[in-house]
Structure 1
Amino acid sequence: MPESVPITVMQSLAAPSQNKPTSNPYTRLLVESMPAERVHTKYFRWSGFLFDQFDVLHVHWPEVLVRHPRKIVHFAKCVALRIFLARIRLQKKAIVRTVHNVEPHEPGSRIESRVLAALDRQTDVRIVLNEATPNPLGTPTVLVPHGHYRDWYDEPSSDRIVSGNLLTFGFIRAYKGVDDLLSAFRETMDQSLTLTIAGRADSHQTSNFIEEQAALDSRISLDLRFIPDNELASHIARAEVVILPYREVHNSGAALLALSMNRPVLMRRSDSTLLLQAEFGAEWVILFDGILTHEVIERTVSAIRATPRSPRADMSSREWPLLADKTIQAYEIAHKRHSKRNIH
């Protein structure tokens, strides 16, 4: 049963700004779907980590709390997080963590690993986005799938699709396999195919490599910057298929965004992408094994054209009010569990 007094929840990310673009509106869509009579939301700030009041700390991407390019600042943040965890334990607060990734995309320092391990041990409830997420510590879990993006981006019509236009988008990191995609695409024989790579690279080295490879094929176009929402929506609207060639994939907001805008996705087979395919259907989620090749790309385009599918991907299980309710249930479980544990 919902609590009579709203639970005060501190989100581990900075408060959203109307004037600052966001790279992922996930947290904002989730929070704005929570009824005020059940949840009062605050946002984490280092200036208030000793005194800001809350009942539950909701942690997303915990490494973001301590990462910094300057080693001394990184070290100070790790120490401060240790102090914050001690305060949470002493004041009998609860911690809920959404497990977006099994491990951080980029490895951190030894001190970071230790403090994040301490946070995991102190976590009362883990929210998992899919059933394939491991739970090595045996912490109570609540399944809350990733919500759709139809409340943030307008759905494009099918007549905006440019035949043969392939797209990959998002923050370009090494594990995302864009080099494999470039190599495979350059070997495709169909000259009507085009490839657009849209998104900011993680380093000059990565962007230089992509630019060098793209220069070898006039069918490849690049937009290597942070893409504003309206321009990203236009890129997706023109795509016949979105290719996400990640070498490792556990959860993908990019896949949900493409499906939210009714564009099929090509992804590597994994436990989590098999679940995605089972939910949306093989006509929307196409999977490949092993190395991404030009044959895989060409077969995917042919299959998409030959296979009928509904005009819209079914997002009924990923409506934000439903997911907000499940998230609040996780808060309530953590709050009650933590309080009971500290009575004894």
Structure 2
Amino acid sequence: MTPVRVLTSNREPRSTTNPYITMLTAALRRTPGVEVVTFSYRSALLGRYSVVHLHWPETILGQGGRRLTGRVARWVLAALLLLRLTLTRTPVVRTVHNVELPADAGPLQRLLLRWFDRLTTHRILLNDRTESAGPATTIPHGHYRDWYTGPRSPVVPGRLQYVGLVRRYKGVEGLVEAFRSVPDDSLTLGIAGAASSARLAATITTLADGDPRVTLHLGFLSDDALVATVTAAELVVLPYRFMHNSGAVLAALSLDRPVLVPETRVNADLAAEVGPGWVHTFAGDLTSADLEGALAAVRRPRAAAPGLDARDWAGAGHAHLAVYRLALSRAGSGVRA
């Protein structure tokens, strides 16, 4: 059977690339019948491929911090790519990481992102709770047990830890405020991860000022630093205002650390999947009582490790290849999602 040549929306993985993308790219390259072409505008506009696989299509449009001329050039190139995909009827597969458009996308960016959506032939869902506007296949987000292999830290009693990119919707400001209302001086809170803006970093720094129990590292974490930071925690707290899919949750669980996350159906499913004592939830705005209650809960007996067998990477490449072939068959029949 002819191999499927797939153009992915990510560039060639580097040390700072999202581990999910790096591990998936490696899994695809190990899979007979798949040829991976990582993204560049030269390969996208002039190269040869039979399927496009999108993850976060907004990355194709560029980041908001670039000069206006650079952003406009990226938008023009994206429009040319979209025109090529439209005219050639190239099937587009989309992994649904986020269920809404980026909050900071402008009108033209939203127009281009909706164009990508209209061209999507088949969607890959990371959980069964995600709604899809068309044909879809669920391929669960893989675990990180084989990725985060650096030295682990001894657990620090009473240590609460946030880790990951700091964005407004992730509720880190509310976490700091809730923690400062906790009267127990034996507890500590760490915030580790690069902030999405200088203003947000300044806000969090101001909120934490005056409480020596709170430590901030608002910068990039290497893999080894992330392992050391997460494993030192008694509880990892991810206080997102909205959470649907989260690699940070799986990173913590892959390192055998319990998590406190928003109460959602997806997180309830995850709690049932991994076993009792690993996933704790809060409803509404995070409070000091939520933090104290979750910490008390994680001190009760639980299994030695969360159950993540269903998220092994061994079959990921073959599962994606099956989706690519489905998308090609639909495109050949003239059907769009």
Q: TM-score, normalised by structure 1?
A: 0.92
For 1:252 and 1:186, how far apart are their aligned partners in 2? 26
**Of residues 95, 99, 124 in structure 2, which corresponds to 1:98?**
95
* Equivalent residue letter for 1:80: L
The residue matched to 1:118 in structure 2 has which SS? helix
Alignment identity in percent?
37
Corresponding residue of 1:286: 280
CA-CA distance at 1:272 after TM superposition = 2.0
Alpha-carbon distance change, 318 to 156 in structure 1, aligned in 2, over 3 angstroms:
farther
Matched, 1:173 2:170: no
Aligned residue number for residue 201 of structure 1: 195
Equivalent in the alignment of 1:190? 184
Question: Structure 2: any 5+ residue segments left out of the alignment?
Answer: none
TM-superposed deviation, 1:23: 4.5
Cα contact 2:150–2:224 (8 A) shared by 1:
no
Aligned to 2:34: 39
Counterpart code for 1:175: Y
Contact 2:156 2:233 in 1 (8 A): yes
Equivalent pair of 2:238/2:260 in contact (CA under 8 Å): yes
Q: TM-score, normalised by structure 2?
A: 0.94
> In structure 1, which of residues 106, 112, 115 is the aligned counterpart of residue 112 of structure 2?
115
- C-alpha separation in 2, matches of 1:36 and 1:290: 43
State yes or no: 1:274 paired with 2:268: yes
Contact 1:6 1:36 in 2 (8 A): no
Task: Give the number of equivalent residue pairs.
Answer: 332
**In the aligned structure 2, how far is the partner of 1:24 from the partner of 1:316?**
21
Structure 1 gaps, min length 5: none
Q: Which residue of 2 aligns with 1:326?
A: 319
Deviates more, 1:245-254 or 1:319-328: 319-328
Structure 1 contact 7–38 (Cα < 8 Å) conserved: yes
**Residue matched to 1:233:** 227
Aligned mates of 1:268, 1:184 — CA distance in 2: 14
RMSD (CA atoms): 1.6
Mapped contact 1:169–1:254 kept (Cα < 8 A): yes
Give 3-state SS (helix, strand or coil) of 1:49's partner: helix
How far the C-alpha of 1:79 sits from its partner, in A, is: 2.6
2:134 matched to which residue of 1? 139
* Counterparts in 2 of 1:277 and 1:105: CA distance versus 1, 3 Å: farther
How far has the Cα of 1:327 moved from its partner? 1.5
In the alignment, residue 16 of structure 1 is paired with which amino acid?
Answer: P
Name the residue aligned to 2:146: 151
Alpha-carbon distance between aligned partners in 2 of 1:73 and 1:103, rounded to the nearest angstrom = 25
Deviation readout 1:242-263 (Å, 9 max, x if unpaired): 0000001111000000001110
Deviating 4+ runs (over 6 angstroms): none
Does the 8 Å contact 1:155/1:261 carry over to 2?
no
Structure 2 SS opposite 1:127: strand
2 CA distance for matches of 1:73 and 1:271?
A: 41
Offset at 1:91?
2.5
